[in-house]
Structure 1
Amino acid sequence: MLQTATVDYLSPSHPIKQIKIMFRKLKGGFLLVIGYLLSPLCWWNDLVFNLPIAYFVGYIFSLFNSDLLVPCSIAAYWLSNVTGIIMMQVGAVDVLQGQPKERNLKKELLTGLVSSTVYTMAILALIQFKILENPGLFPVKIL
């Protein structure tokens, strides 16, 4: 009598499953690194990544209206930081999670947006209460 072997493709030890898990972890690590480089947690990222991105976006919008350079640059700078935090969050979930689970993109984006906004408000409060110094982007003219 000939016996047939059954293959359990859903088993966590199956080679195809292991390759998918490894690929997900590599993708998560990539997102984590790129997110870190865009996030405010990296101390040197502004000069290399965020400010050039923000200036480029502001410049593109200033071609339509010259008054949009500064506001759009500020918005793009904030969005690049928020994007970095969200990318770090998604990457960390991919790297640290054992078995893949259903993802709720809406919930992840909302969580990232809320955490980034809280971070921004905390920095503004530290500047407002003179715990951190204002970088002096708009110097006051003394008459």
Structure 2
Amino acid sequence: MICSRKTLKNGLRRTLGGILIGLGWILSPLTWWNDWFINLPLSWLLAGFVARQDQAAFGKYFIFFYWFTNLLGFLLMYLGWRFAFFMKKVSRREIFISFSVSLLYTGVIWILVKFEILKPLF
């Protein structure tokens, strides 16, 4: 069976979109195990790396990276869904807006931590 170039392109787009959806699902807070086995260890490692110079900022970086990984998961799922099923190219503007909103939410959380409105449980 001979496949057309368009069929191969559509199959590749769906495959890549599915991979993005899968990676996003792993990073998103939509599963019970995600935080314990993915986001918290990843956030802990990133915060430890970034806060090597300022140990007092470790908690703030930990919370920042925790929220960032959750938002990144949602963004990857959104982009993967658009890429795989709508067959419409996602514009750079749409990516920029989605990423900016995620960064804005993360910034709000960081501000809440900085003013000690949001504190770690332990």
TM class by smaller structure: 0.7 to 0.9
Which structure features the higher share of helix residues? 2
Matches within 5 A, 1:55-94: 55-94=44-83
Aligned to 1:19, what secondary structure does the other structure show? Answer: helix
Q: Counterparts of 2:31 and 2:81 in 1: how far apart (Å)?
A: 16
Corresponding position of 2:13: 24
- TM-score normalized with structure 2 length: 0.76
Contact 1:58/1:73 (<8 A) preserved: yes
The total of aligned residue pairs comes to 107
Matches within 5 A, 1:28-47: 28-47=17-36
- TM-score normalized with structure 1 length: 0.66
Identity between Structure 1 and Structure 2 (%): 28
* Root mean square deviation of aligned Cα: 2.3
Unaligned runs of 5+ residues in structure 1 are: 1-13, 122-135, 139-143
1:104 maps to 2:91: yes
Deviation readout 1:69-115 (Å, 9 max, x if unpaired): 11111101111011100000011112211xx3342123234236537
Unaligned runs of 5+ residues in structure 2 are: 110-119
Contact 2:48/2:58 (<8 A) preserved: yes
Q: Counterparts of 1:66 and 1:79 in 2: how far apart (Å)?
A: 20
